[in-house]
Amino acid sequence: MKNLTKLKSLFTAVFLLLGTSLMAQTISGTVSGEDGPLPGATIIVKGTNNGTTSDFDGNFSIDASSSDVLVISFVGFVSQEVSVGDNDQLTVSLVSDNELEEIVVTGYGSQREKEVTSAVTKITAEEFNKGPISNAAGLLEGKVAGLSIYSKGGNPNAGSTIRVRGISTLGGNVSPLFVIDGVPGASIDNIDPRDIETINVLKDGSAAAIYGSRGSSGVIIVTTKKGEAGKIKLSYSGEYSVAEKMNAIQMLTAQEFRDFNGADLGASNNWVDQVTRQGITQNNSIAASGGFDKTSFRVSVNTRDVEGVVKATGFQQFNTRASIQTKAFNDKLSLSLNSSYTRRKSDLGNSQVLEFANVFNPTAPVYFKDAPQTIQNYFTEEQITRSGGYFQTLGLFRSFNPVAIQEQGIYAQDRNEFAYNIALDYALTDNLKIFATAAKNRSSAENRTSRSVYDYNTQANLGDRAGRVDYGDYENESANYEIYGTLNSSLGSGVDMVVTAGYSYNEADFFQKTINVGDFPDEAIDYSYSIGSSEDLLNAGLLGLGSYKAPTNKTIAGFGRVNLVIDNAIYVNASVRREGSNKLGSENRWGVFPGGGIGVDLNKYVGTAFEKFKVRVGYGVTGALPSGSGLSQLVYNFSNSDQATTQARAANPDLKWEEKAETNFGVEFRNGPLDLTIDYYSRDITDFIFDTEIDAAVFGFNRRFENVGDIKSTGIEFTGSYDVNDIWTPTLTLSTNKSELETYTTKDGITTGNLGSPGQNATNMVLVKEGYQIGTIWGPVYDGVDTATGKPKFKDLNGDGQIIAGQDKALDPQGDFQELGQGYPEIELGFNNTINVGKFQINAFFQGAFGHSLVNTWRAFFEPRIGSQFAYNFVNTKYADDDLKAAAFSSLYVEKADYIKLANLTVAYDLDLPINGISSTVVSLNVRNAFVITNYTGADPTPSIVDGGYDAGGGSLSGSGNILAPGIDRRNNYFDSRTFTLGLNINF
Amino acid sequence: MKNFLKITLMSLSLIAFTACDLEEELVSDFTSPYVKAAGGGGGPTYSAGATDGSSQRVSDNIAGAFGKLRSGSAGHGSYWSMQSVSTDEMLVGVKGGDWYDGGIWVVTHRHTVSSAHGPNGNAWNAQFNGINEINNVLAGSITANEKAQLRVLRAFFYMRLMDMYGGVKIVTAAGQDPAQSTRKQVFEFAESEILAALGITAADVLSGSIDLSGSDLNTSPAKYRINQYGAMGILSRLYLNAKVWTSANTAGTDGTARWTEAANAADWVITNGPYSLVTDANFSLPNLSARPASSGLNDPETISGVLTIGAPNNQDNPEIIFSIDFDQASGKGGMPFAQMSLHQPSQNTFNLASQPWNGYQTMEDFYRKYEAGDKRLGWFLSGSQKSSAGKQLVDWAYDDKATAEAVAADGEGVHGTLDLNYSPYINELEPDSWRQSGARMFKFRHKQYQNNDMDNDFPIIRLAEMYFNRAEGRSMAAGDWSQGLADVNAVRTRAGVAPFAALSVQDFIDESGREFIFESHRRTNLVRWGKFTDAWWEKTGAKGGSVGDPNKNLFPIPLSQIQAANGSLTQNPGY
């Protein structure tokens, strides 16, 4: 009800504004559109509040003087200005604005661009990044100010990490909501980038509010291409790419290693070369679209065969999409069906291959048989047999022959994704429309890891156990049902209104099954297809079986929105959403989240005549939820060895919605060749939900989910472009974001982001504490080396005369710790250049990030000249110090990672073939990651905004991870790759 | 406007009627404790005479509660590590690039831990998780015997808490939030609970006229449960530490000693229990660590006497009264001693499931307390190491090549060569404790083809401790150490060494150390003897260690718990 009161006062203000007007001569006239008279059009005497609306036949009369100018406007048509002059009888024809004005999808409907009151960026197909993009999110990399998309390294199977305006919560969902053809929550991965028509990014809270909690981290609305009635059109596009590794970690060569007195095993190998290759990618798409009468369709097929630069990684994907639209009942009913199916077979590869390729002794041979006899003598026949003939330095910690682990395992994933939706809308009257959609999305993945009986790594070949097979079956299913209506009406006096109201129901299910067994007889077959031959079946302790089903995750919401256009220059929108989730405490499941905004076309009020000069302000509140289940519930684990349950989490019946309130202020300007948009936002997250330590004596267990603090974020986003003589169009996007933990009930804070094994466990590198930015890298400050002991010296930061740098003092005022850098960049930059010369189109896109640091974990582990490291290999950057002989995390390993790179360079040429039936033929040459300029000594200076942990354990690199520990460049991060692509696009 | 009203009404009603069923039903998790029918049953039944420990297991309602003992009692990074690395028994040396781990093991050894120390926090939580589990099960329908066992077990968890942290909150049912008790109050609570389970009074124990006919505890020989002997053993340990645990100061000097009660309780167990000290003559087991005959190493096929105490097949050891059930086959894990202590190449001696971590080393001075011929030297691995095929093990990352050849032989092993050779000599605690230095743990013997989680049962109460408790109790009560001579010699001589002619305090301290190494008794004992704050080896002021500060007799209450308790927990002095 509170919101209704707000609405009322809004109306009052609007009517007051209109007021009454002066009288003069009476002018009468008729307003019509292409299809006849327009009832309800607004006629206003320019510069006054004097106005009227046309009647049912389009007729109007208004008092005006001969020097007045009338402004005639109607929703969906371009406004027109007419000088009164001597005429007392006017005939005005308005032109529909569909073709003339950009339409922006804003959630449950669309608006003309100028009516938008929030920060929404629209990107069309022409603006997308080019080249071999294996993930549709890559289309937008660097294109939208405030949208951070990073795919660290060149692993084709790793997804992108996507953030809208930085981190939006500590424990909740930080990824934006994708809405594909009206279906919220659909996966961006199963779209062929060529099927996409436009992408709208809703950045601020007032825009996202209508989508509720799932949109609390921003909303990305994807609209796919649709067919048009008429002749059937065919198009083909194909790409052939070659990828090569870019920057490698700086290690010693075999000869340098020998000269350095490293343990010489008699051979010379560049292990990185051994495990990498030139990766070939082929990509083919065919689409057909067309239609007849009132029905149109589009179907497309895409195949993609991608090789990673690391051998035995890549995927093959088959993707289809079909859409059909039709109209019935005098065009009152529109019906559409969209469906897509994707199948991707991936080779994920062993995630530790690159770590071992870098640190495995460069003088070791690939095979035992190639080792000098003196070295072979140390091994027994059995050891050599057990290693499958691959040379292994048995007895070194975390050191395995990279070629062996690459070749002795299968790391396969087979993913299927099927999505469809049916949408209909029906016009009850000219002004009242009802929309309904039903959508389902089902994805399943089977992970199959099979390690050879000769695999010497980890748990695969343990003692008397030979080989191991791991299965994982994962099923995600979600359903979404929505119904809403929109009412267009003119309230008279130059006020047009659109009311939207609706209901949304969403449920999501997750189910997984895992099996792992080992100990197989020999190397005869791939035992992942014959797990019954496992000897582990005789030993319960070695057998791993698991299944888990998440509770059905339900979100139910009702929503309403009012859009007003006043005076054809003031745009107001107000929305409210009441949403419930079954994750929260029983008394706190429902929340009410308002949003609103106002935009003003200043041209009209300051007397300028720019093409666009608009200011807008928006405010919106959304709820946010973590992704886990049973957050508020008391949970017990069952131990089958004890046949008993034990508590695993304490209940929190008071758990309530985390709320995000965001205020956005924007200015849009366009005149001639110049186009500028600037946004400033301020965001307050209150009561964020986090897994928190509690009194173990009282709750019986020391952790549960609680609402524990507030976060404040601010940022500025700038987009500017300038069209130089229709030849060169540079576009610059810049954004800043700063997020600070304002309050946190754990006053002394926590640290997270463990550096890890060997030797640097219990070493957390990131601070989470009240008063500090999210992503603060935290540690002692390096102060040279104590040459007597080889130990690093640290600075006495608090000046108390003693140096305390032990990790258990990291949060203690006694400890000498300080901020060493920030994981998040301060400024992100995109600089796009489009050059059209004749039949050539050249596109050069630079991307950069500044102000972020990375912990170079390669150096932290392998650069000190530790005695034992002489059996591995050393990192050898400009920071290497031969006197430093002990490893301990400090500022020495935190590097500024500012960079700028030519991310994308495309030259396209229109062959303009004089062949009948072919409308265009374009060939293109593209280079991704042409060069990068940075001082960072690791392989890739891209910000690491989510942490995958210190050891992915030989399995896949998953996209999920610790969002609180940005800024850590891990040993399993894949090299970045440079890709050259030849493309051909034919439209028939 | 009509339409507008309609739509407004429609939308308002939609918003209002969105109330719907939003119960979250967890389908894969238990949301209430699983409790079997009263009186047990329903679980697996075990055959008597089995050799995998199953004969020791019983079907009852309290397996979950006893299962909580496995957490941290014999593993890395919790109770066991704090109790061991803080003493003169053990160290975790920083080995160049390995085991620095943010300095947490250096500060543990040098007694400069802070309240944010991770393993210290884990130890706290493990005890309270156990207590919570017991409180939940006690609230259900269980037998009187089960109830009595759980009360003793809960008292045992509180004993650990007051030993490490002093006064804590005494919680006896889920959801209580009592004020923090003093250490003395925790002592009194533990005492009353154990006495109640035994059906006797403190006066009975003091007088020595102990009649357990009223006890709900039984005399079953099941070692994974608490019977009358186990409870009396725990009571003996409680009384032995009474002076410290009832003391208001951290030095432990102003409490009330209960030496006679400690001795009487131990005496009752020795006199009435069906247990015996193992000797070479009375107990032997198949040697599961033995390498195959083809190795040519002639590992013995059987082991006997003291070597069987921590063996992987020690479940029927007649000396053990109450122990924790670790069992690879049924997934009862939590004892990775082989991983924690052995150097990586030793994987090939025992064909271990995965690489060891080369962490925990035995203090040189401690190791040298054993005289030649002491069979307990078999509780360590030292000297040159060979694989299961009889081949010399090599360490490619042998100590710093630049200086290795310069390191002299120390008599028991040569450092700085490719051959793996565990030397008792340890050059330093940090930053480059040689990778092959220090004798390694082998009391809890690693069997061939050992998984990370070992099979060996971990004794909590064994008969040898009762002899020591009786010896110390009687000697302290009388002020005369000759009172303990016979008891100490009884334990000592079965290790194949000559009996003491007379017993000094130092003899007693050293002998206790030799006997109970790796069993997490040492810290408690050193505190009781007033020696925990002494200087030793690299735990000196010069090395940045804490010496002579009585506050270090207690660990800090974990910072995260102090914060979570919102003012209801007071930190120990000095932290």
pLDDT tens, position by position, A356-382:
999 999 999 999 999 988 888 888 787
pLDDT band at A192 (very low <50, low <70, confident <90, very high): confident
pLDDT for the residue A209 = 79
Report the gap between the CA of B546 and the closest CA in chain A (Å).
Answer: 14
Residue A767 CB-half CA count within 13 A = 26
pLDDT for the residue A413 = 94
Residue of A nearest to B449 (CA): A463
Q: Do B347 and A395 touch (CB under 8 A)?
A: yes
CA distance A301 to A793: 61
pLDDT band at B5 (very low <50, low <70, confident <90, very high): low
Determine which helix (DSSP H) or strand (DSSP E) holds B138, and give its type and residue range.
Answer: helix B118-138
Structure-token pair, residue B127: 């005890």
Q: If you average pLDDT over residues B144-165, what whole number do you get?
A: 98
Q: Using CB atoms within 10 A of its CB, is residue B517 exposed (0-12), middle (13-18) or buried (19+)?
A: buried
Q: If you average pLDDT over residues A292-313, what whole number do you get?
A: 92
Report the gap between the CA of A76 and the closest CA in chain B (Å).
Answer: 19
pLDDT for the residue A946 = 84
Total count of residues recorded for chain B: 575
Q: How far is CA B139 from CA A444, A633, B62, in A?
A: 43, 20, 12
Q: Do A489 and B4 touch (CB under 8 A)?
A: yes
Report the gap between the CA of A762 and the closest CA in chain B (Å).
Answer: 5
Measured between beta carbons, the chain B residues lying within 8 angstroms of A497 are 4
CA distance B44 to A129: 63
The residue with tokens 């894990």 is: B333
- b/e sequence A55-69, b meaning 16+ C-beta within 10 Å: eeebebebebeeebe
pLDDT tens, position by position, A498-546:
999 999 998 989 999 998 888 777 777 777 788 877 877 776 667 778 8
pLDDT for the residue B209 = 94
| Higher-scoring residue by pLDDT: A23, B193 | B193
Residue B47 has pLDDT above 50, yes or no: no
Measured between beta carbons, the chain B residues lying within 8 angstroms of A576 are 15
Q: If you average pLDDT over residues B333-351, what whole number do you get?
A: 93
ipTM score for this prediction: 0.87
Residue A637 has pLDDT above 90, yes or no: no
pLDDT band at B467 (very low <50, low <70, confident <90, very high): very high
Q: Say whether residue A656 is in contact with chain B using an 8 A CB cutoff.
A: no
Residue A13 has pLDDT above 60, yes or no: no
Q: Are A629 and A551 contacting, i.e. CB atoms less than 8 angstroms apart?
A: yes
Q: Do A872 and B397 touch (CB under 8 A)?
A: yes
pLDDT for the residue A28 = 85
CA distance B513 to B522: 7
Question: Residue B482, Cβ neighbours under 10 Å: how many?
Answer: 11
Residue A345 has pLDDT above 50, yes or no: yes
Give residue A172's Cα distance to chain centre.
Answer: 15
Q: How far is CA A531 from CA A139, A469, A526, B78, in A?
A: 42, 7, 9, 37
Q: Are A243 and A154 contacting, i.e. CB atoms less than 8 angstroms apart?
A: yes
Highest mean pLDDT pick, A310-314, A394-398, A604-608: A310-314
pLDDT tens, position by position, A662-697:
999 999 999 989 999 999 999 999 999 988 999 999
Q: Say whether residue A374 is in contact with chain B using an 8 A CB cutoff.
A: no
Of B23, B129, B401, the CB nearest to A696: B129
Residue A100 has pLDDT above 70, yes or no: no
pLDDT tens, position by position, B236-295:
999 999 999 999 999 999 999 999 999 999 999 999 999 999 999 999 999 999 999 999
pLDDT for the residue B2 = 54
Q: Do B15 and A578 touch (CB under 8 A)?
A: yes
pLDDT band at A462 (very low <50, low <70, confident <90, very high): low
pLDDT for the residue A585 = 83
Residue B11 has pLDDT above 80, yes or no: no
Choose among B145, B141, B138: nearest CA to B217. Answer: B145
| Higher-scoring residue by pLDDT: A218, A544 | A218
Restricting to A residues 13-52, those with a Cβ less than 8 Å away from any Cβ of B are: none
Report the gap between the CA of A293 and the closest CA in chain B (Å).
Answer: 33
Of A547, A638, A887, the CB nearest to B100: A887
pLDDT band at B44 (very low <50, low <70, confident <90, very high): very low
Measured between beta carbons, the chain A residues lying within 8 angstroms of B71 are none
Task: Reply yes or no: is the peptide bond before residue B44 cis, omega within 30 of 0.
Answer: no
Q: Do B331 and A589 touch (CB under 8 A)?
A: no
Size of interface A-B (CB pairs under 8 A): 392
Q: Do A702 and B563 touch (CB under 8 A)?
A: no
Of A393, A559, A646, the CB nearest to B68: A646
Highest mean pLDDT pick, A112-116, A396-400, B383-387: B383-387
pLDDT tens, position by position, B95-116:
888 899 999 999 999 999 999 9
pLDDT tens, position by position, B509-535:
999 999 999 999 999 999 999 999 999
Total count of residues recorded for chain A: 988
Residue B4 has pLDDT above 80, yes or no: no
Of A578, A638, A806, the CB nearest to B34: A638
Determine which helix (DSSP H) or strand (DSSP E) holds A689, and give its type and residue range.
Answer: strand A689-693
Highest mean pLDDT pick, A40-44, A396-400, A516-520, A980-984: A980-984
pLDDT tens, position by position, A439-461:
999 999 999 988 887 776 655 55
Choose, out of B4, B13, B15, the residue to mutate when testing the contact with A (most A CBs < 10 Å): B15
pLDDT for the residue A822 = 96
Residue A212 CB-half CA count within 13 A = 25
Residue of B nearest to A702 (CA): B125
Q: Do B351 and A464 touch (CB under 8 A)?
A: yes
CA distance A733 to A717: 7
CA distance A409 to A399: 17
Choose, out of A695, A748, A885, the residue to mutate when testing the contact with B (most B CBs < 10 Å): A695
Q: If you average pLDDT over residues A2-18, what whole number do you get?
A: 42
Of A630, A693, A698, the CB nearest to B29: A630
| Higher-scoring residue by pLDDT: B432, A16 | B432
Q: Say whether residue A646 is in contact with chain B using an 8 A CB cutoff.
A: yes
Q: Do B114 and A872 touch (CB under 8 A)?
A: no
pLDDT for the residue A716 = 96
Q: Do B33 and A645 touch (CB under 8 A)?
A: yes
CA distance B429 to A919: 78
pLDDT tens, position by position, A135-173:
777 788 878 888 888 877 778 887 778 888 888 777 667
Report the gap between the CA of B60 and the closest CA in chain A (Å).
Answer: 9
Residue type, A203: K
pLDDT band at B374 (very low <50, low <70, confident <90, very high): very high
DSSP summary character for residue B170? -
* Percent of chain A surpassing pLDDT 70: 94
What average pLDDT does chain A have? 86
